[in-house]
Each structure stands twice: as structure tokens, then as C-alpha cells.
């Protein structure tokens, strides 16, 4: 029972972080009709912003995290949108996809060049001591990661559905021309989507790096798994990205624990194939609808 | 006309100078994992060698020639490592130091063998010295010698009846796992959980959960540095309470740096450790390394250092730069520290290139590895 609870919790915690990254894929897709293949690197880079804040600027951890969040929103949100998306988007989605691939390589190699190829230690944001839940010893860190990730997803959903700005973002995503006629500042709404994506990626980075360690190559696997999670859940729905992330996180841990650890890396790919064959729009996705 | 003569004379002069320089220099190639998953091991290996080469050059070089140390990065990729060894040989290296990852060494040592170039490696997989390659030599004991040295710790100190094994599924990990499992079977200790993980794995939640639920009295952890650090972090996160005992990497400085408090109380058998500062040569090396690189050396740094000095000592024994004679001289060779102080400890090689020397049991206490016992050479 203890093992089952721990594996479930670890799977949900990791899956919720996958979900944060997958939601970023969805947001960018809705806003710019493109796939950001540098999304994994967008999760890797903020951890290094924290390390720069701590080791170069001499900030304490909390301030360094705040600095990294701000730097991520500016660099991975605003600058990314202005310098890469806006100039390339008129050339078509494919050009932009290739540009994001190149950006991913650039970010990876830049971090490797300036911070080294070795993994770096990253301080945990929460207590690492385990706690007792229903007689089982489970990880406090996993529990808090899960609560924070799900909390952020709920807040984001409320923001998009219950606020004027959120509804404007949805309108801009569904039909930009009509939204513009109705007075929505479409460009600004698209910019918001990119800024939120950067903030989500930074949050995922702060939560996962204490366990994964800060390394230039961290984004490779994370980006791929989150991309698959977004497809499995439904690429055009936030709730789909959430379901996809949690499903992959939990299945990965259960398969590794109770079936085989040797083929766990293949699990997301198998899931992807099954979903594409049986339900191409994803578990929660819709065939034609687009809604943020 | 004068300009043409001047140009020709200058060219001839330059060629002459470079030819003289080439004759006065001996090249030892450093081929290691400077990027990729093996970078922590490779960079330490390189830096240990750098200190040795500075000392060797200050000591008059090898057979009167100053030593050059070109560096080749394998990117922790076996195929790249093979190409790098070939490049090093093409560039005129008379000896090769590296690689460390066993999967790479098994591929690239054939290239050095074909060219009869002596190669000191940091790899510890048993198979490396079982291939009949007379040109490959270890700088620390292989798993088949190192892992059995741990057995008394499991039987006498921990009094374990059931153990778990957490190992990385690469050449290094498989070698250590197989030797440990065989040793446990020999003495009647049950391996109750056998948990492999992939190289570069980041999520150890299920591995630790399995070990935690297995009822093992202790866990043998046999992984590379970054994987070992991630494993220790997850073990602390889930409150894994049984002793974690490893071979070599588990208590390394880099692992302690990465895992932080999660590395506390981890135990390992290490062939050589920079914390054995009661040994004068190791203390001196440690001081030099910290002064030059502003960090503590790992055992890979000492292995690289020993490899470079062994290259000098044996070449000078042979009296010429000849790979075949070097390989002959290495067979059943012992370099006692009284005569060869830079070997740091009395060191012997058998006819296969396997190394033997005293070793240590180390435990992490207050964030630093501390020697808790010595193990005689086997």
C-alpha cells in the first residue's frame, strides 16, 4: 500500500509538471498556430537563471527565483515573441517550427558553453523530509509539487474563463478577425499567451530541477514527453494537456515499478501511437474547435 | 629576387625550428568525456593529468623531451571516442590517457591496440582486461577486484541477510552488478531486489519505491556520478532508511556536491581517494588540485594523475618511445611508492593490465567523504 501510494504520488507530481509544460505547447499553438520545439529548453533555462541569480548576483534563493521568473517572462516570453515569432510567422508555421528547433539548439549549446556540460546542484524549494500519510511514508516535495502545479492550472483556467482578459484571449485564439472587430487587442492577447507560457515553463523548471539537477540537456526528454502529453490529452485544450501530463506521469511510474523499468522510455511513444490510431484529436481534444 | 630569397630562407628557418620543436616534444593524448553524461568524470581525469604533466615537465619531461598534452573530447559517445583515439594517434601521440566510460573504452581500445599505442584507462568494467589486449592498462582496480572488497562490509559490519542492487544499465553498471550478485550468491546473501535504470535517467521514484518495499537490509548502488546523485536525492525524498553502499562513485566530491544533504551517510569502497590525506603524496596532490582548480579532486583526478606518471616511469624504464616494449614492461610490473613517489600508493599490474593496490572504505559525514577503513591490495 505504501509503495502504491508513493508511486502514485510521484507519478502525479511528475505528471503535473509535464502538464505545465504541455499547457505551454497548447497556449502557443492557440496563439500562433505553431509548435514551439524549444519548449523543453524553455524549462531548462530558468533553472540557470536561478543559479546566475544566486552565484553571480549573490541573491538569496527566494529572490533568485523571483529574478529568474522575471527574466524568463522577459527573455522566453517577450523577446521570443518579438524577435522570433513576429518576424517569422508571416512566412508560415513550418518556418517558425524550424526556427524554434534552432532556438532549442542555441539555448542548449549556450548554456553548455557558459555554464558547463556538468550537472549543477539546485536547491530544493521545499522541505525534502518525507511525511506520513495514511500510514505510508511519502515525499513532502512530491506532495507540494503536485499541489502547486494543480493550483496554478486551476488558477489559469479560472483566469481564462472568468476574467475579461482571459475571455478576450480565448476570442483572439478562436477567431482573431472577429475578435479584432469586437475591439479585442489581438496582438496584446497573443503576447499574453507567450508571457504565460514562459511563466509556466519557469515554474516547471523550479519544481523539477531540484530532483533532475540543472543540466543543459534537461530539456530534451522533458520537451518530448510534454509534447506527447499535449497530443495524448488533446492539443487544443488546456484540460487535455493536464490529463495527458498526469496520465503519462502516473503510467510511467506504474510501468517502471510493476512491469518493467527497462522499457519505460518507450511508454510515452506507445501511448502516442495508440492515441493517434484510436482518437487522433486526443483524449479531451475536439476535432475542429480551438479554445484557449 | 631578394624578396624571394628572403621568403625561402624564412620558410626553411621556420620549418627547421618546428622540426626541432617536434623532436623535443613527446605527445601524450588525453582522450576523455569532457562533455555529455561523463563530463564530471572526464574533466577531473583531465585536470589530474594536467597537474601530472606540469610536474613531469618541471622534472625534465620524459627521456629529456618536454610533454605536450593535446585534449580530445569524446562527448561521452563510444563512436566519437573511437574517432578521437584514431585522431590522437594520427597526431603523433606515443601514449593515450583515457577513456573513463567502459562502453567507450571497449570500442576505442582496439584502435590503440592496432597501432601498438599504450593506453591507460579510467574504466572499471571487468571485460576491458579480459579481451587479451596487451596495450590497455587500468588506473584503478576493475569491478571484479573492487566489488569483492566490499563483501566483508556487508557480512561483518552490516550483517546483511538480504540486499538490493540499484545499478545503471551500461557496461560499467552491468559489470559491477554481475560481480556483486555473484559475490552475494557465493556467501549466501539473497539479492532480493535487482533494480536497473538507464544511463542519464532523471526519475528514480519507482526505483527507490521498489527498494524501499523490498525488505532489503542494505542496498548496493552502482551508478555513474549524476545518476548516483539523483538516486540519493530521491532516496532521501522517500525516506529510504537502509544503508546505501557503493563502489567508487557514490561518495565522490561531485556526487556530494550534487546531492547535498542527501549524500549524508552514503558509504563506498574506493580504489583511491583524495581524502586519504594521511598519505603524503595524496595530501600534496590534493593541495595542488584545490589551489589550481578551486574544487576538490575526485578519484578520477587521481587516476589520471597516476596514469600520466606511470607513462613517464615505464617509458624511462624502457628507455625509448616504443609501444610494444612499453607493453612488455608493464606485464607483472610493480611500482613501489618508495621508488616511484608519484604513484602515491604501491601499485602493481598483472599480465592482463589489471591493477592492484591498497584501497579505502569511505563514508560521507558532514558533507565530506571520510576514510573509515583501509582494504589491503587483493
Indicate which of B34, B206, B293 best probes the interface with A, i.e. most A CBs within 10 Å of its own CB: B206
Name the segment(s) of chain B with CATH classification 3.40.50.2300. 12-141+279-357, 145-270
The C-alpha atoms of residue B21 and residue B62 are separated, in whole angstroms, by: 15
Residue B367 touches partner A, C-beta closer than 8 Å: no
**Partners of B222 in the beta sheet?**
B167
> Cβ–Cβ of B237/A128 closer than 8 Å?
yes
Number of residue pairs across A and B with CB atoms under 8 Å? 101
Inter-residue contact B241 to B272 (CB < 8 Å)? no
pLDDT at A1: 65
Among A11-20, A29-38, B178-187, where is mean pLDDT lowest?
Answer: A29-38
Across the interface, of A117, A139, A217, the residue whose CB is closest to B237 is A139
* Short-list A45, A46, A49, A117, CA closest to B225: A117
Is CATH 1.10.3470 correct for A2-116+137-278? Answer: yes
Whether complex ipTM tops 0.90: no
State the pLDDT at residue B1: 46
CATH class belonging to B145-270 = alpha beta
Closest CA to A25 of A155, A204, A154, A172: A204
Retrieve residue B235's grid coordinates: 532516496
The whole-angstrom separation of Cα B252 and Cα A159 is 48
The domain segmentation of chain A, as residue ranges, is 2-116+137-278
Between residues 76 and 115 of chain A, which touch chain B (CB distance below 8 Å)?
A: 112
Residue B13 pLDDT: 46
pLDDT number for residue B5: 57
Give B35→chain A minimum CA distance, Å: 5
- The per-residue pLDDT for B18 is 45
CA dist B23 and B353 (Å) reads 30
CB contact under 8 A, B209 and A261: no
Range B272-305 burial, b when 16+ CB lie within 10 A, else e:
bbbbbeebebbeebbebbeeebeebbbbbbbbbb
pLDDT in tens, chain B (378 residues): 455 555 555 555 444 444 444 458 999 999 999 987 788 889 999 999 999 999 999 999 999 999 999 999 999 999 999 999 999 999 999 999 999 999 999 999 999 999 999 999 999 888 999 999 999 999 988 888 888 888 889 999 999 999 999 999 988 899 899 999 999 999 999 999 999 998 888 889 999 999 999 999 999 999 988 999 999 999 998 889 899 999 888 998 889 999 999 999 999 998 777 777 788 899 999 999 999 998 888 889 999 999 999 999 999 999 999 999 999 999 999 999 999 999 999 999 999 999 998 888 999 999 988 889 888 776
**Range A185-192 average pLDDT:** 92
Grid look-up 543559479 returns A51
Phi, psi of B101 (to 5 degrees): -70, 125
Fold entry, domain B12-141+279-357: Rossmann fold (3.40.50)
Element (H, E) at B25: strand B25-32
pLDDT of residue A292: 55
Partner residue opposite A261 with nearest CB, options B197, B238, B262: B197
pLDDT score for B188: 93
Helix axis angle, A2-32 to A218-233, nearest 10°: 80
Amino acid at each position: 500500500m505504501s509503495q502504491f501510494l508513493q508511486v502514485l504520488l510521484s507519478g502525479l507530481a511528475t505528471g503535473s509538471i509535464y502538464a505545465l509544460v504541455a499547457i505551454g505547447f497548447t497556449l502557443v499553438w492557440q496563439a500562433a498556430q505553431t509548435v514551439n520545439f524549444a519548449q523543453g529548453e524553455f524549462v531548462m533555462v530558468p533553472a540557470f537563471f536561478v543559479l546566475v541569480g544566486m552565484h553571480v548576483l549573490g541573491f538569496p534563493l527566494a529572490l533568485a527565483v523571483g529574478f529568474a521568473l522575471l527574466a524568463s517572462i522577459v527573455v522566453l516570453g517577450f523577446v521570443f515573441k518579438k524577435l522570433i515569432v513576429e518576424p517569422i510567422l508571416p512566412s508560415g508555421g513550418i518556418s517558425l517550427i524550424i526556427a524554434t528547433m534552432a532556438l532549442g539548439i542555441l539555448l542548449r549549446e549556450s548554456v553548455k558553453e557558459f555554464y558547463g556540460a556538468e550537472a549543477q546542484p539546485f536547491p530544493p524549494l521545499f522541505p525534502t523530509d518525507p511525511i506520513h500519510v495514511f500510514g505510508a511514508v511519502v515525499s513532502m516535495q512530491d506532495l507540494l509539487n503536485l499541489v502547486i502545479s494543480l493550483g496554478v492550472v486551476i488558477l489559469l483556467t479560472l483566469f481564462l474563463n472568468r476574467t475579461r482578459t482571459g475571455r478576450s484571449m480565448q476570442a483572439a485564439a478562436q477567431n482573431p478577425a472577429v475578435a479584432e472587430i469586437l475591439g479585442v487587442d489581438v496582438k496584446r492577447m497573443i503576447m499574453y499567451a507567450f508571457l504565460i507560457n514562459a511563466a509556466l515553463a519557469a515554474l516547471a523548471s523550479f519544481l523539477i530541477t531540484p530532483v533532475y539537477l540543472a543540466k543543459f540537456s534537461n530539456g530534451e526528454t522533458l520537451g518530448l514527453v510534454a509534447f506527447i502529453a499535449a497530443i495524448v490529452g488533446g492539443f487544443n485544450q488546456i484540460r487535455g494537456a493536464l490529463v495527458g501530463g498526469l496520465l503519462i506521469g502516473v503510467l510511467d511510474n506504474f510501468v517502471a515499478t510493476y512491469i518493467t523499468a527497462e522499457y519505460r522510455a518507450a511508454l510515452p511513444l506507445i501511448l502516442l501511437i495508440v492515441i493517434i490510431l484510436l482518437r487522433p484529436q486526443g483524449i479531451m481534444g475536439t476535432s475542429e474547435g480551438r479554445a484557449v | 629576387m631578394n624578396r624571394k630569397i628572403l621568403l625561402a630562407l624564412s620558410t626553411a628557418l621556420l620549418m627547421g625550428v618546428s622540426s626541432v620543436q617536434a623532436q623535443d616534444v613527446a605527445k601524450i593524448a588525453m582522450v576523455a568525456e569532457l562533455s555529455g553524461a561523463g563530463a564530471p568524470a572526464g574533466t577531473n581525469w583531465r585536470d589530474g593529468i594536467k597537474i601530472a604533466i606540469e610536474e613531469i615537465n618541471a622534472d625534465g619531461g620524459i627521456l629529456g623531451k618536454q610533454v605536450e598534452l593535446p585534449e580530445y573530447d569524446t562527448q561521452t559517445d563510444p563512436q566519437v571516442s573511437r574517432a578521437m583515439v584514431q585522431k590522437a594517434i594520427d597526431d603523433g601521440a606515443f601514449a593515450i590517457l583515457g577513456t573513463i566510460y567502459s562502453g567507450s573504452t571497449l570500442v576505442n581500445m582496439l584502435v590503440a591496440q592496432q597501432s601498438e599505442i599504450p593506453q591507460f584507462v579510467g574504466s572499471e568494467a571487468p571485460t576491458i582486461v579480459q579481451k587479451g589486449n596487451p596495450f590497455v592498462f587500468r588506473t584503478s582496480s576493475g569491478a571484479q577486484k573492487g566489488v569483492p572488497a566490499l563483501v566483508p562490509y556487508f557480512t561483518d559490519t552490516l550483517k546483511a541477510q538480504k540486499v538490493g542492487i540499484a545499478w545503471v544499465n551500461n557496461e560499467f553498471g552491468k559489470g559491477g552488478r554481475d560481480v556483486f550478485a555473484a559475490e552475494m550468491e557465493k556467501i549466501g546473501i539473497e539479492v532480493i531486489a535487482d533494480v536497473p535504470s538507464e544511463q542519464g535517467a532523471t526519475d528514480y521514484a519507482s526505483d527507490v519505491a521498489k527498494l524501499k518495499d523490498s525488505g532489503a537490509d542494505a542496498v548496493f548502488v552502482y551508478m555513474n556520478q549524476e545518476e548516483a546523485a539523483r538516486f540519493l536525492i530521491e532516496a532521501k525524498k522517500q525516506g529510504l532508511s537502509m544503508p546505501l553502499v557503493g563502489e567508487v562513485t557514490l561518495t565522490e566530491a561531485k556526487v556530494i556536491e550534487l546531492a547535498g544533504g542527501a549524500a549524508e551517510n552514503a558509504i563506498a569502497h574506493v580504489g583511491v581517494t583524495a581524502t586519504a590525506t594521511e598519505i603524503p603524496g595524496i595530501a600534496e596532490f590534493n593541495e595542488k588540485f584545490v589551489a589550481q582548480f578551486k574544487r576538490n579532486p575526485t578519484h578520477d583526478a587521481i587516476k589520471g594523475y597516476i596514469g600520466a606518471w606511470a607513462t613517464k616511469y615505464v617509458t624511462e624504464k624502457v628507455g625509448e618511445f616504443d609501444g610494444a616494449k612499453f607493453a612488455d614492461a608493464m606485464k607483472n610490473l610493480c611500482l613501489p611508492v618508495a621508488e616511484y613517489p608519484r604513484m602515491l600508493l604501491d601499485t602493481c599490474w598483472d599480465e592482463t593490465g589489471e591493477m592492484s593496490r591498497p584501497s579505502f572504505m569511505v563514508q560521507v559525514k558532514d558533507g565530506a567523504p571520510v576514510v573509515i577503513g583501509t582494504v589491503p591490495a587483493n
